[in-house]
């Protein structure tokens, strides 16, 4: 185990440090001395930085430099890859830019910059990582050490259309990106999912207005026209989408879960049956086969059963809808397989299919009940491939530095 790092005033007992650069130490008296300990290479090196420069770029050092006079000589030790720290010091000097970083080095710099709270550099590195994501995913880097907040930031930049093109054979990052994309998708106001306490079908607040509940009497047609409140779904206030997704994770990978949820939230209207359907139901246009000399007849209420099923014929009125339906069709087999799992919540013993009396009496309250989000943390991840030396060193720096108590 490496020694516990810490900071000490010059007047206090000094850490054991390498004796290299002693000559230069004299010339920069008054600066902050940073003893960088590279545990992987088992070497140390001292760096000399102006306090003002450290405080401007590395907010991490604010706490240990608080109350210190600019003329005081301060020593701080930190465990880090020496090459990475060198690059960071040169970046502070203005002699290094992210634009000149190779893709293989971006992640190591990003992790160190994030730890040392170099926010501007973190944002530049995230941008660089996003721009080189295809290349980075193909490199043997251990991306498991990327903190979740950085993966979340990266995921926010990746568009859905880009997501499906990413290849990550060893799943170094892709599942985590999908998990964050799923969380972001479900966090949008219009995508909040509820579960009907009567029929167990999932629905959004918007869908509730025109989608009648199969368990209500009257059986109004489910079209784009709004349905009477008494025939709408009734939200189960105890249902939790986080628990629901957690349950589904037993059967689906993060990419599968994302695409199914994404498809569940896409809505189209069909030219054939006039029904509004979600992406998961693309191949569920019910119809009666044509009799001799007649045309086939669309069935507008599949809850009545009967007939056969074909592909809906969506009305496409925007580029977004066209792109969505193309994406859906590219992944249709996988997305629509076992689609019931995202259309209906499983019937729980404690709930059954009992009608919620309160929901019937005040159905308008449905919209006031917000699903609680407690999605499980993004996926567990482990390095499945040999990590690069540099990345693992940064991991060491990160782990050790986390124990620092300046």
Site residues (vs Zn ion, CB under 5 A)? 196, 198-199, 213, 233, 270, 272-273, 285, 312
8 Å CB contact between 212 and 189: no
- Burial (CB < 10 A; 0-12, 13-18, 19+), residue 203, is buried
* Closest approach of Zn ion to the CB of residue 231, in Å: 9
Residue number, 69 or 317, with CB nearest to Zn ion: 317
* Closest approach of Zn ion to the CB of residue 248, in Å: 20
* Closest approach of Zn ion to the CB of residue 395, in Å: 49
Among all chains, which residue has been given the structure tokens 């290849």? 167
* Closest approach of Zn ion to the CB of residue 226, in Å: 15
Residue number, 54 or 196, with CB nearest to Zn ion: 196
8 Å CB contact between 200 and 344: yes
Residue number, 199 or 335, with CB nearest to Zn ion: 199
- Burial (CB < 10 A; 0-12, 13-18, 19+), residue 166, is middle
Radius of gyration from C-alpha coordinates of the chain: 29
Residue number, 257 or 285, with CB nearest to Zn ion: 285
User: Max alpha carbon distance in the chain (Å)?
Assistant: 101
What's the Cα-to-Cα distance from 225 to each of 207, 215, 240, 274, 315, rounded to whole Å?
Answer: 11, 19, 28, 11, 16
| Range 250-286 burial, b when 16+ CB lie within 10 A, else e | eebebbbbbbbbbbbbbbbbbebbebbbbbbbbebbb
Q: Which residues, 6 or more positions from 403, have their beta carbon under 8 angstroms from its beta carbon? A: 4, 5
* Closest approach of Zn ion to the CB of residue 164, in Å: 25
* Measured distance CA(10)–CA(293) in Å, rounded: 98
Residue number, 232 or 390, with CB nearest to Zn ion: 232
* Closest approach of Zn ion to the CB of residue 198, in Å: 5
Residue number, 111 or 270, with CB nearest to Zn ion: 270
* Closest approach of Zn ion to the CB of residue 286, in Å: 7
Residue number, 264 or 312, with CB nearest to Zn ion: 312
């Amino acid at each position: 185990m490496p020694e516990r790092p810490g900071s000490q005033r010059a007047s206090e007992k000094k850490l054991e440090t390498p004796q290299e650069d002693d000559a230069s130490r004299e010339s920069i008296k008054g600066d902050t001395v940073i003893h960088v300990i590279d545990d992987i290479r088992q070497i140390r090196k001292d760096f000399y930085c102006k306090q003002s420069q450290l405080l401007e770029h590395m907010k991490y050092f604010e706490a240990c430099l608080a109350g210190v006079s600019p003329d005081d000589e301060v020593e701080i030790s930190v465990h880090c890859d020496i090459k990475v720290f060198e690059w960071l010091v040169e970046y502070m000097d203005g002699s290094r830019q992210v634009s000149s970083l190779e893709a293989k080095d971006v992640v190591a710099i990003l992790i160190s910059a994030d730890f040392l709270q170099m926010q501007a550099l973190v944002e530049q590195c995230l941008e660089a990582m996003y721009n080189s994501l295809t290349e980075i995913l193909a490199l043997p880097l251990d991306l498991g050490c990327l903190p979740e907040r950085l993966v979340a930031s990266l995921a926010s930049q990746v568009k859905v259309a880009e997501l499906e093109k990413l290849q990550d054979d060893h799943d170094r990052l892709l599942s985590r990106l999908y998990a964050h994309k799923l969380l972001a998708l479900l966090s949008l106001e219009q995508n909040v999912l509820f579960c009907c306490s009567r029929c167990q079908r999932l629905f959004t607040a918007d869908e509730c207005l025109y989608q009648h509940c199969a368990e209500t009497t009257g059986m109004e047609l489910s079209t784009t026209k709004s349905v009477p409140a008494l025939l709408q779904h009734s939200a189960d206030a105890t249902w939790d989408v986080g628990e629901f997704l957690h349950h589904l994770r037993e059967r689906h990978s993060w990419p599968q879960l994302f695409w199914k949820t994404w498809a569940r939230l896409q809505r189209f209207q069909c030219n054939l049956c006039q029904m509004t359907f979600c992406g998961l139901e693309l191949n569920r246009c019910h119809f009666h086969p044509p009799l001799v000399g007649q045309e086939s007849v669309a069935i507008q209420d599949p809850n009545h059963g009967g007939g056969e099923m074909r592909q809906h014929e969506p009305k496409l009125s925007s580029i977004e809808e066209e792109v969505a339906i193309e994406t859906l069709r590219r992944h249709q087999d996988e997305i629509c397989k076992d689609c019931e799992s995202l259309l209906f919540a499983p019937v729980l013993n404690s709930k059954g299919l009992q009608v919620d009396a309160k929901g019937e009496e005040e159905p308008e309250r449905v919209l006031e009940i917000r699903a609680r989000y407690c999605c499980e943390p993004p996926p567990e991840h482990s390095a499945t491939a040999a990590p690069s030396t540099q990345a693992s060193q940064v991991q060491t720096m990160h782990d050790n530095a986390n124990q620092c108590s300046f």
